[in-house]
Chain A
Amino acid sequence: MTDLEIISAIRSGKRETALKELYKEYPKIRTNVLSSGGDEEIARHLFHDSLILLVEKVSDPDFELTAKLTTFLYGINRFLWKNELRKRNRNPELEWKDTLILTADEIGYDEEKEQKMKVLEKVLNQVTERCKKIFELFYFKKESMTEIAKKLEFSSVNSAKTQKYKCMEKAIKLAKQNQLQT
C-alpha cells in the first residue's frame, strides 16, 4: 500500500487494512527500542500508542503529509520513548535511522490531556455496557442515531438520543468525581 492509500483507508473507516500495513513496521521499531534499554513490553506498548497518535493525526482533515508515513510513525515512537526515558530519569541520545525529530506540538501530544484521558478511560469502564456501545457506535463507527436505535432496540430514535446524552452526563459527572479524588 502507498502512503496515500493508507491515509485514505484510515479516513474512510477501513482502519484494519491500514493498521495491518503499519504493523509491518513493528520489528524495526522493536529493534530501536530494545537497543536503547527497552524491552519487548515497552516496545509493543509504545508502538501501539504511536499508532493511535498517528491515526488521530491522519484523521484530522488538515493533516498534510510532509514525509513518508513510516518516517512520521518512527518520529512519534521516538518521541514517546524519549518521554518515557525522561520519566525514568534517563536522557540518552537516540540515533534512529529514517526518523523525524518531532515536538509534542507536532504530534498533538499534551501531557495534561493525556493524564485527563487516563481518568476518562477509567470512567468509560464505569458506565454501563449500553452506554459504551452507544458511544462506540456513534463516535467511533460513525453510525447514525437511527441505526443505533434499531441495533440496540430503542423504542425510538429520540429515546436513543436522550439515552446517549444521559450517558454523557453521567460520564462527565464521574470524571469530575475522579478528578477530585486524584
Chain B
Amino acid sequence: MRSELEQLEHIDQYLSGKLSADQAAAFESEMAKDPALNSLVKEQELLIKTVNRKALMAEINAVAGMGAGATGAAAWGITQWLITGAVVIGVGVTSVLVFNAMNSDQEEQLPLVTEQTEELTEEDEVLSPKDTGDYFAFTLGESPIEEADFIDEQAAKEDANVTHTNQNPTLEKTDKKGLMVPLTDLNDIANKDKKESDTKLHQEKQQPVHNVDRNRRATFLGGLEMMKAFFQKELLYPRTPKDKGLSGTVRVKFLVTAEGEITELRSECFILKDIEGLRLSDWKFASNGKSRRIFEDRAERIFRISQPWTPATNSEGNPVLSEQIWYVNFDLNGESSIYQLEDDKKTSYNDQPMFIELK
C-alpha cells in the first residue's frame, strides 16, 4: 500500500480503538504536533459516522415503511424543510422549462435539452457512479411523449442540484403530485396539464407548515419489506445473459391506477456490463439486443404479476392514477437490486436499493 493509504489505515485503527494504549498515546502526541493529520483524523471520523448514519437511516426507514396502514405516510416526504430560496429557484427553472415546452416546437426544444445533457453528463463523469448520462442519452431517442417527460426530469434534476447543498438527502424525497398523470392516455394535453400542476406544486411547497397534506405515493401492497420479499421469491436471473456473463440494468415505468392496477408498463435495458463489471462498448451493447430484451421481459413481468398496488392518494386522500419508475439491476456478482433514483423522485418513495439474491 502507498504511504498515504497506510496513514489512513493507521487513523482507522486509532479511531476503532485497535491501537494499544502506548501506540494511541504516541499517535495523539503526533496529532497535537501536526494540524494536517489532526484534521484528517477528524474528517475520517466524521465520514465513518456518516456511513453509519446513512445505513441506520435506511434501517429506520425500513421499520417505518413496514405497516403501511398503521404508519400512514411513513415512506414518503414533502420537503417542507426546503429553504424557500431553493424553492423559488426550482419554480423558476420549472416555469422556464414549462414555458419552453409549451411554446416552442420540437426543433427548438431539442437543442435546449441536448445542451443541458452535455453539461450534466460531464459533471456525472467526475462525480457520480450512476449512469445518468446514458440514461438521458437513451431517453432522447424516444417519442415526443418521452421528450416531454425528459424535460420534467431535467427540471427535477436542476431542482435537486439546487437543494442538494442545503439539506439532508433523506429530506429530498420531494413530493411532486404533479406527476400523477391526469389521463391514462399520455397525449400532449395530458403532459401540459402535468406541467401546470407541477408548477402549482412548487408554489404549494411554500405554504405554512401546519398544513397536513394527505397525498402519498403508490406503494407495493404491504410496503417495502413485502416488496423485497416478493422480488426475492419471484425474480430469477435469466439464463441466456447469465451464460454470456452479462449484467444489466432495466428502467421500468408504469402507471398505477386508482384501483391499484398496473398499466402502461414500459421498460428499457439501458446498461449492459460484462463479467468484470465493465460497461459494454456501444457496438457490443447494440449487438446484444436479445439479452437486453430478456432482461426487460423479466423486469416487466415481475411488476406485472406484483399487482394490485396501494394506489397513490391526492391531498383529499382519494386514490388517483400515478406513475412509478423503478430500476431493476441484474448483477452477476451477487449485487442485484431494485431501486429508484433521485432524478425520478417525483414518483419515488424509496431511494435505498434493496439488495436481492437471485438464483
Contact = CB atoms under 8 A, between A and B. Distances in A.
A128 B124 CA distance: 12
Contacts of A116: 46
B167 A44 contact: no
A149 to B, nearest CB: 13
Contacts of A41: 73, 77-81
B8 A139 contact: no
Contact of A52 (B56, B211, B212): B56
A165 B5 CA distance: 6
Contact of A126 (B8, B40, B54, B129): B129
Given A20-B63, A121-B54, A135-B51, A40 B168 contact: no
Q: Which range holds the interface residue count of chain B?
A: 35 or more
Interface string A147-182: 000011100000001100110110110110000011
B113 interface: no
Contacts of B64: 23, 44, 48
Contact of B1 (A37, A39, A161): A161
Given A15-B59, A125-B128, A40 B212 contact: yes
A22 to B, nearest CB: 9
A19 B63 contact: yes
Contacts of A151: 334
Q: Which range holds the interface residue count of chain A?
A: 35 or more
Contacts of B165: 122, 181-182
B51 A169 contact: no
A56 B49 CA distance: 9
B44 interface: yes
Given A133-B335, A171-B47, A16 B77 contact: no
Contacts of A86: none
A135 B72 CA distance: 32
Contacts of A39: 80, 209-213
A116 B165 CA distance: 11
Nearest to A171: B47
Question: Chain B binding site: helix, strand, loop or mixed by DSSP?
Answer: helix
B278 interface: no
B50 A121 contact: yes
Given A38-B209, A162-B5, A139 B46 contact: no
Interface in A37-85: 37-42, 44-45, 48, 51-52, 55-56
Given A38-B209, A153-B333, A172 B40 contact: yes
Contact of B55 (A56, A117, A140): A140
A136 B48 CA distance: 9
A129 interface: yes
B263 to A, nearest CB: 30
A172 B7 CA distance: 13
B209 A37 contact: yes
Contacts of A44: 64, 73-74, 77
B37 interface: no
Contact of A16 (B40, B51, B63): B63
A107 B120 CA distance: 40
Given A48-B64, A117-B49, A139-B52, A169 B209 contact: no
A181 to B, nearest CB: 8
B57 A165 contact: no
Contacts of A129: 129, 335
A170 to B, nearest CB: 11
Interface string A124-150: 111111000101100111000000000
B197 interface: no
B222 interface: no
A100 interface: no
B68 to A, nearest CB: 14
B81 A42 contact: yes
A97 interface: no
11 contacts: A15-B56, A37-B209, A39-B210, A41-B80, A51-B60, A117-B50, A118-B168, A125-B169, A126-B129, A169-B4, A175-B47
Given A45-B77, A152-B333, A165-B12, 13 more contacts: A16-B59, A16-B62, A16-B63, A34-B212, A39-B210, A39-B212, A40-B212, A41-B78, A51-B60, A55-B56, A118-B168, A124-B47, A172-B43
